[in-house]
Structure 1
Amino acid sequence: MSEGTIKKVAGPLVVARGMRDANMFDVVHVSDQKLIGEIIEIRGDEASIQVYEETSGLAPGTPVVSTGAPMSVELGPGLIGSIYDGIQRPLDDIMKVTGSNLLHRGVDVPSLKRDHVWHFVPDKKAGDRVSSGDIIGHVQETRIVMQKIMLPPGVSGTLKEITEGDYRVTDTVAVLTQADGSDKPITLMQKWPVRRGRPYQKKLSPNRPLVTGQRIIDTLFPIAKGGVAAVPGPFGSGKTVVQHQLAKWADADIVVYIGCGERGNEMTDVLNEFPELKDPKTGYSLMERTVLIANTSDMPVAAREASIYTGITIAEYFRDMGYSVALMADSTSRWAEALREMSGRLEEMPGEEGYPAYLSSRLAQFYERAGRVITLGSGDREGTLSVIGAVSPAGGDISEPVTQATLRIVKVFWSLDANLAYKRHFPAINWLTSYSLYLDSLGDWFNQNAGEDWMQMRGDIMRLLHDESELNEMVQLVGMDALSAPDRLKMEAARSIREDYLQQNAFHEVDTYASLHKQYLMMQMVLSYYKLSKQALEQGASVDKLVSMPVREKIGRFKYTPEDGADASSRQVMRELHIEIGDITAAKEDF
């Protein structure tokens, strides 16, 4: 341990002298209140420390003590359903200790509850040879999630004893005899430094989609399991609602939601909504497979930087069990602002717009921890970690450094558009500027599992939307009446795609989620209307009659049809569509 004294205090940055024996990224206790900090720079015997709690009242000469260990998180039963601050302190336990719902300085509360008893069931027996990452037993943490107790990385040997029973997280559940003959106790809990990615055997190519139930995402710009996506957009464009929707409905076993520098009332909405939401796969509360990390905008700015690493380390832990994990970071811009503030206080040479020169590399280190991997341990266990980061560019300018650095790393870009949001078109993802680089690797999966012509229909939809964009320029100059009948029909079909398919009401009981099968049926209906109408037009039918067919209202309202009635309703709409098209064509022939 290294002990020093404070030399200088500058907001969340504290400079301490006498810290020659300390190491980079060591956790330190500042002052007699034991405020938690982390060493981020060492010059001679002086260490610069970012303090994760309020520093008002600190004075030069106050003691600083290094713990000699890096910032780490506790991993074990009790994570699911918890809400932590940026450095994994449980907010509910802090409130019990302080008797207040405001954060107090210097509160020392363990991350995992020490008094809770868990029933451990062994999956191995005494005498078995085990290595890093092997699952030696399990604990039923919630009705949805079974926590698999794994050997920590770097540990291997022969199980000397392992016993079923009720244990606390710090109790020994097994004893391992290592290669050197020493015995190592194994508990339900392990620790891992947050700035170091958890190891795995092999990284695989992502070739399955993360199904979200959001039509514009699944159909036009899908993300792979183990993929990375960015959601940049200006204020009021719906970033947080998109993140909430993905957290609620994405096809993931575990959800880790990080509110990094977000408004307190938005985190309150999450806390109030998630326990009441029913998981579509299990029928139980969504909170039974969710971990929340809340570092709101009024909390100490330095803890924003830690919250991102805390969240992704917890996510990697569940990935190592073989689960599919989705991590939502809302928003990485606030995290970058914390980096900029700390860099400024360290008097580092600023980069573009004042951000530190290492902004891009820090973002890459974060996003590169996502992926589809073969985990440590026997059995070729496969786990995936998908990361979706919201970006809040100042003034909606996506040319600013954080957005541009993010786009160089991620493979999916969901571009939120203020103009669409002002028109009340939600989700306000602009289909002309967004993209997904996973389409080539996911196309076969969609055709095999969602519909044999899924990718062809997706291509037809994108072509119609792009054609509409070009025709719109002409309409604004000379008006709709100047368009030819085929072009006018194309405009109507594109409008149907926009309003009936791409628009989705996050607050509607049915429309909030659409399965791939229902999406396929909706695409069929919208495109069938266009193709059949185009054929009728070629036979001389009236474009006015084709545009005003009564069945179009039923196509538009199909999105509100419950999943269990989708097939029957789709068949009925398609029958009516053929009948009405036939009547219009026949009327032309009679004429």
Structure 2
Amino acid sequence: MENLVGTIVGINGPVIKGKNMAKFKMREMVMVGAKKLIGEIIALEKDLATIQVYEESSGLKVGEDIFSTGMPLSLKLGPGIIGNIFDGIERPLNKINEISYGFIKEGIGLISIDEKKEWFVNITCKEGDILQEGDVYGEIQETNIINHRLMVPPGIKGRVIKVKQSGLYNIEEKVVTLKDGEREHELSLYQIWPVRTPRPIKKRKILSKPLVTGQRILDVFFPIAKGGTVAIPGGFGTGKTMTQHQLAKWSDADIIVYIGCGERGNEMTEVLEEFPKLIDPKTNTSLMNRTVLIANTSDMPVAAREASIYTGITIAEYFRDMGYDVAIMADSTSRWAEALREISGRLEEMPAEEGYPAYLPSRIAEFYERAGYVENLNSTEGSVTVIGAVSPAGADFSEPVTQNTKRFVSAFLGLDKKLAYARHYPAINWLSSYSGYTQMLKEWYEENVSLDIMDLRSKMLKILFEENKLQEIVKLVGEDVLPDDQRLILEAAKILKVGFLQQNAYHDIDTYVPLEKQYKMLKTIELFYDKAYECVKMGVPISKIRQGEIFGEMIKMKYNISNDDLSGFKNIEEKISSYYEELMKKYRQ
């Protein structure tokens, strides 16, 4: 390939202008200056190019050279990704820390997954086999739960003409050679893929399975589908990071990709310190055995923050292609949008609303549309579920990032400042949140939980909506003026909010709740409401219906009843039935 060299003619922070660039390409990755800083061409007009630099650009001078790499910004995808911590362009932070302790030194280059480490490769093909794109030619047990499948890269096929024995190899070793006509393709243990290009699939499938999270308000009220898109908007201190931590720890995805794009360093530090200590409930080993962390905090280069989202989704698609269900936690897409805004400002583009670039909606759409439940090229099925936190300033959901995100996601979990300040976590507002997956997942819930679970959900939501309306009256004239059937709605809503919707992430039993227990909890609350409603209709005063011991047991059943032994619900149900039937008997007489 021709060695192309341009020259720096202008520097504006992370944005560099270069001339003699006519033979370079749009979106090409380049090396800038004597330190060979990594950059990407984002605008090209005749021989003048605009480059965004993914590293600290101080010290660059006009007149330094710009070198071509001949390829777009791409990732090395292979064994060594799981359990690793990368920056926004997939450079391992542990390795960088060894090179320059505490800071990311400029000009480190495109280091990526470990090239020297040897992996035991079980070769699964033989000479004479015909392999198509996506077919598996070898397997590596990367962690105790992740079997890393080596796949023929997209666009390559052929007959196996050379194959090595199963054994120990580093990622650069050529283990299989394919012949396609006159061309030969040597396959190593990794493939390279451009981050801004979605990886190809055979076809998209209908979303039909939930991402079970163990969080009651999500699993029952606002379910998330595997392959779905979710936004979690909320102001400062409302629990976005906490909610995403819970989803990362407890959701039944096979692999978690956690992207810290632009959040404060201490929040990412908490993730880095906490995740290796957490025990995965599926395997009783470290959660890091199925987690990839991408850290590009607010003090790291702004252009790399913009790239970190694409790095995360590309890694997720790679593992999806192996047949895994992957969940992405992007914390937070607002910081990513701010990176777009800063680069746009440096380019002197015409700003749209609140200074964001006019192409903000299309960039958000590009990201979320890479989610999905798919049939892969190798006929396996996999999914990428995208869960993006949004951080609107002052919890103002009318700002551009929240509004444009809302257009492209199917589940919206709005975090509420009032709930958070009242110590109600997760602070998801049941009035403003919604899930578009309820009908899609109805059949699964009826088959796997109970036939009446969706009717039960509707009934409980109706109580909460009615209670919200009644609270407006209560604020004006007090609760005493309400008839007893409406006061009963207030009592039932209190039990629902405190006993069911409020969940303690730090409690051994309450941090994760299986679906069967969630259903039993709601059935208990429904039994109370139905029995109490019968009493109200018979003229029993609400003061008699408010039975302290029963109310206390319903609120504490989330702590007092084990997730493994649900027999305790029978005792509570018997108490409810016997108390209210006795009450009705007295009033009949």
Q: Mark yes or no: TM-score above 0.5.
A: yes
Q: Does 1:327 align with 2:325?
A: no
Match of 2:474 in 1: 475
* Deviation sequence 1:222-246 (CA, Å, 0-9, x none): 1111000111111111111111111
Match of 2:346 in 1: 345
Match of 2:176 in 1: 174
1:48 to 23, 47, 50: 50
Instruction: Return the offset for 1:508.
Output: 1.4
Instruction: Return the offset for 1:19.
Output: 1.0
Amino acid at match of 1:15: K
Match of 1:208 in 2: 209
* Deviation sequence 1:403-432 (CA, Å, 0-9, x none): 111111111100111111111111111111
Match of 1:259 in 2: 260
The Cα RMSD (Å) is: 1.2
Percent identity, aligned pairs only, is: 51
Amino acid at match of 2:467: E
C-alpha separation between the residues in 1 aligned to 2:73 and 2:419? Answer: 43
Match of 2:189 in 1: 188
Amino acid at match of 2:527: S
Instruction: Return the offset for 1:512.
Output: 0.9
Contact 2:227–2:371 (CA under 8 A) maintained in structure 1: yes
Aligned to 1:172, the other structure's residue is in SS state coil
Aligned to 1:275, the other structure's residue is in SS state helix
C-alpha separation between the residues in 2 aligned to 1:478 and 1:354? Answer: 45
Contact 1:210–1:250 (CA under 8 A) maintained in structure 2: yes
Amino acid at match of 1:530: Y
Contact 1:415–1:434 (CA under 8 A) maintained in structure 2: yes
Contact 1:518–1:566 (CA under 8 A) maintained in structure 2: no
Contact 1:123–1:137 (CA under 8 A) maintained in structure 2: yes
Match of 1:543 in 2: 542
Match of 1:218 in 2: 219
C-alpha separation between the residues in 2 aligned to 1:421 and 1:122? Answer: 53
TM-score (norm 2): 0.98
Match of 1:450 in 2: 449
C-alpha separation between the residues in 2 aligned to 1:588 and 1:277? Answer: 55
2:59 to 44, 57, 60: 57
Instruction: Return the offset for 1:440.
Output: 1.2
1:121-200, aligned counterparts within 5 Å?
A: 121-162=122-163, 163-178=165-180, 180-200=181-201
Contact 1:93–1:109 (CA under 8 A) maintained in structure 2: no
Contact 2:37–2:109 (CA under 8 A) maintained in structure 1: no
Amino acid at match of 1:104: K
Instruction: Return the offset for 1:211.
Output: 0.9
Amino acid at match of 2:81: L
Aligned to 1:445, the other structure's residue is in SS state helix
1:560-571, aligned counterparts within 5 Å?
A: 560-561=559-560, 563-571=562-570
Number of residues of Structure 1 aligned to a counterpart in Structure 2: 586
C-alpha separation between the residues in 2 aligned to 1:8 and 1:230? Answer: 39
Q: Does 1:382 align with 2:384?
A: no
Amino acid at match of 2:185: K
C-alpha separation between the residues in 2 aligned to 1:123 and 1:540? Answer: 75
C-alpha separation between the residues in 1 aligned to 2:323 and 2:486? Answer: 51
Match of 1:439 in 2: 438
C-alpha separation between the residues in 1 aligned to 2:588 and 2:504? Answer: 42
Q: 1:303 to 1:53 in 2, by over 3 A?
A: same
Instruction: Return the offset for 1:203.
Output: 0.7
2:27 to 22, 25, 28: 25
C-alpha separation between the residues in 2 aligned to 1:226 and 1:563? Answer: 31
Aligned to 2:277, the other structure's residue is in SS state coil
Q: Does 1:284 align with 2:288?
A: no
C-alpha separation between the residues in 1 aligned to 2:563 and 2:259? Answer: 34
Amino acid at match of 2:98: K
Amino acid at match of 1:512: T
Contact 1:2–1:20 (CA under 8 A) maintained in structure 2: no
C-alpha separation between the residues in 2 aligned to 1:94 and 1:459? Answer: 52
Match of 2:303 in 1: 302
- When structure 1 is superposed on structure 2, of 107-116 and 325-334 the one drifting more is 107-116
Instruction: Return the offset for 1:580.
Output: 1.9
Instruction: Return the offset for 1:563.
Output: 4.2
* Deviation sequence 1:263-297 (CA, Å, 0-9, x none): 11111111111111111222211110000000000
C-alpha separation between the residues in 2 aligned to 1:562 and 1:123? Answer: 48
C-alpha separation between the residues in 2 aligned to 1:437 and 1:315? Answer: 23
C-alpha separation between the residues in 2 aligned to 1:319 and 1:408? Answer: 25
Match of 2:319 in 1: 318
* Deviation sequence 1:432-469 (CA, Å, 0-9, x none): 11111111111111111111110010000110000001
Match of 1:398 in 2: 397
Match of 2:88 in 1: 86
Aligned to 1:28, the other structure's residue is in SS state strand
Q: 1:278 to 1:240 in 2, by over 3 A?
A: same
Contact 2:29–2:41 (CA under 8 A) maintained in structure 1: yes
C-alpha separation between the residues in 2 aligned to 1:198 and 1:398? Answer: 33
Q: 1:5 to 1:562 in 2, by over 3 A?
A: farther
Q: 5+ residue gaps in structure 2?
A: none
TM-score (norm 1): 0.97
Match of 1:531 in 2: 530
Amino acid at match of 1:7: V
Aligned to 1:517, the other structure's residue is in SS state helix
Q: 5+ residue gaps in structure 1?
A: none
C-alpha separation between the residues in 2 aligned to 1:589 and 1:201? Answer: 67
Instruction: Return the offset for 1:582.
Output: 2.6
Q: 1:536 to 1:3 in 2, by over 3 A?
A: same
Amino acid at match of 1:358: Y
* Deviation sequence 1:471-497 (CA, Å, 0-9, x none): 111111111111111111111001111
Match of 2:358 in 1: 357
